[in-house]
């Protein structure tokens, strides 16, 4: 295979800062949207005492971050069962990687989107079935905004050539093309 394009997310502080800015913008937009929705639909939001809300949010954030990266790791294993999966934290970002593993664009797209889809759906079901707890709604908004990096990754993969293979690296990804014989 021949290298088409390589992307290094975790080695580029400018890109990391840009993604954090986009994440903040998404967070603010979702927070405003949720506030309007709560008012329009007259949803009763359940608040605990302030410290209970804070503790539930931060405990939930730790749990959802671990679950998010665990879902990535599970999908890496689903598509490359013999490959190693590594969990790391760098530049304030938690991430899962399967260095040196190759995936089709479809597989890598699923690996990238799975945590957003599964955890967002779970969060929405929780809010609908159990009640609109303030900390849980804020947690769902925070998780969705934190998926900006995954959406960026997906956009890079989708823009690549149709027949490209995706190689996961410790700090990014690379797109490879089959060599014509």
Q: What is the pLDDT of residue 16?
A: 79
User: What is the pLDDT of the chain when averaged over all its residues?
Assistant: 90
Q: How do residues 164-173 score in pLDDT, each as one tens digit?
A: 999 999 889 9
Q: How do residues 13-23 score in pLDDT, each as one tens digit?
A: 788 788 888 99
Mean pLDDT, residues 39-58: 80
Q: What is the pLDDT of residue 6?
A: 93
Q: Over 90: is that where the pLDDT of 69 sits?
A: yes
**What phi and psi, each to the nearest 5 degrees, are found at residue 166?**
-105, 125
Q: What is the pLDDT of residue 49?
A: 77
Q: Over 90: is that where the pLDDT of 85 sits?
A: yes
Q: What is the pLDDT of residue 108?
A: 97
Q: Over 90: is that where the pLDDT of 174 sits?
A: yes
Query: What would the two tokens of residue 114 be?
Result: 């799975």
Q: Over 90: is that where the pLDDT of 37 sits?
A: no
Q: What is the pLDDT of residue 74?
A: 98
Number of neighbouring beta carbons within 10 Å of residue 85: 19
Which CA distances in Å does 125 have to 60, 143, 150, 168?
16, 15, 22, 32
Mean pLDDT, residues 145-152: 93
Range list of β-strands (E), the chain: 2-8, 45-46, 86-90, 93-97, 102-104, 132-133, 165-168, 172-177
Q: How do residues 100-148 score in pLDDT, each as one tens digit?
A: 999 999 999 999 999 999 999 999 998 888 877 888 889 999 999 999 9
List the chain domain ranges: 2-177
Q: Over 90: is that where the pLDDT of 50 sits?
A: no
Q: What is the pLDDT of residue 97?
A: 96
pLDDT band (50, 70, 90) for residue 92: confident
The residues, ordered by sequence, that sit 6+ positions from 111 with a Cβ below 8 Å of its Cβ are 72, 75, 76, 79, 103
């Amino acid at each position: 295979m021949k290298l088409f394009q390589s992307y290094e997310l975790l080695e580029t502080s400018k890109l990391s800062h840009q993604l954090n800015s986009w994440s903040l913008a998404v967070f603010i937009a979702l927070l405003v949207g949720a506030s309007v929705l709560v008012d329009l639909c007259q949803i009763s939001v359940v608040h605990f005492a302030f410290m209970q809300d804070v503790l539930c949010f931060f405990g939930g954030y730790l749990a959802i971050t671990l679950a998010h990266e665990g879902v990535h790791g599970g999908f890496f294993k689903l598509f490359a069962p013999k490959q190693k999966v590594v969990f790391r934290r760098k530049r304030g970002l938690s991430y899962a990687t399967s260095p040196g593993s190759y995936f089709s664009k479809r597989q890598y797209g699923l690996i990238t989107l799975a945590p957003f889809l599964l955890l967002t759906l779970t969060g929405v079901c929780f809010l609908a079935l159990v009640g609109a707890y303030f900390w849980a709604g804020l947690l769902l908004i925070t998780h969705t905004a934190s998926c900006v990096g995954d959406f960026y990754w997906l956009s890079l993969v989708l823009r690549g050539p149709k027949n490209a293979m995706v190689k996961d690296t410790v700090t990014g990804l690379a797109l490879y093309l089959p060599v014509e014989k």
